[in-house]
């Protein structure tokens, strides 16, 4: 079964960097994912798609501070030079022919 696992919460200081993790279920380590950001009281926003080899393509207007990387079944979202507006929920998403799957989301707090 295709499942994505995310830690419920993370925190980092203003101006620092943070790395969020999304883990693919067993047997699905080659799957690409997408990262989405949801700021409080807003709809989601697409950040990037991320392949198993770490190559990624960002959405329109996404700052260079956001980057992605991969290792095995893990997919990472790194946010550098954290700003207050980065405080949000972050969701990873993957897909197969007839299904879309979201991770449970990580709530990022900027201290």
Partner 1 sequence: EVQLVESGGGLVQPGRSLRLSCTTSGFTFGDYAMSWVRQAPGKGLEWVGFIRSKDYGGTTEYAASVKGRFTISRDDSKSIAYLQMNSLKTEDTAVYYCSRGFSGYEDYWGQGTLVTVSS
**Binding interface with partner 1 (CB under 8 A):** 32-34, 36, 38, 42-46, 49, 59, 89, 91, 93-95, 98-105
| Cα angle value 91/74/50 (rounded, 5°) | 60
Nearer to partner 1, 67 or 93 (CB): 93
Nearer to partner 1, 57 or 81 (CB): 57
Task: Tell me the closest approach of the beta carbon of residue 50 to partner 1, in angstroms.
Answer: 10
Residue nearer to partner 1 on the CB measure, 35 or 67: 35
Minimum Å gap between C-beta 38 and partner 1 is 8
Question: Hey, is 78 helix, strand or coil?
Answer: strand
Q: Give the nearest distance from C-beta 67 to partner 1 in angstroms.
A: 17
CB of 16 to partner 1, least distance (A): 25
Measure the CA–CA gap between 72 and 30, rounded to whole angstroms: 8
- 30-64 b/e with 16+ CB inside 10 Å = b? ebbbbbbbeeeeeebeebbbbebeeebebeeebee
């Amino acid at each position: 079964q295709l499942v994505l696992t995310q830690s419920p919460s993370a925190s980092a200081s203003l101006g620092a960097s943070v790395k969020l993790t999304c883990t693919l279920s067993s047997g699905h380590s080659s799957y690409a994912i997408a990262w989405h950001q949801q700021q409080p009281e807003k709809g989601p926003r697409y950040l990037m798609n991320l392949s198993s080899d770490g190559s990624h393509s960002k959405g329109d207007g996404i700052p260079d501070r956001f980057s992605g990387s991969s290792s095995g079944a893990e997919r990472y979202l790194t946010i550098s030079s954290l700003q207050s507006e980065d405080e949000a929920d972050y969701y990873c998403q993957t897909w197969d022919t007839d299904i879309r799957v979201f991770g449970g989301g990580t709530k990022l707090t900027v201290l």
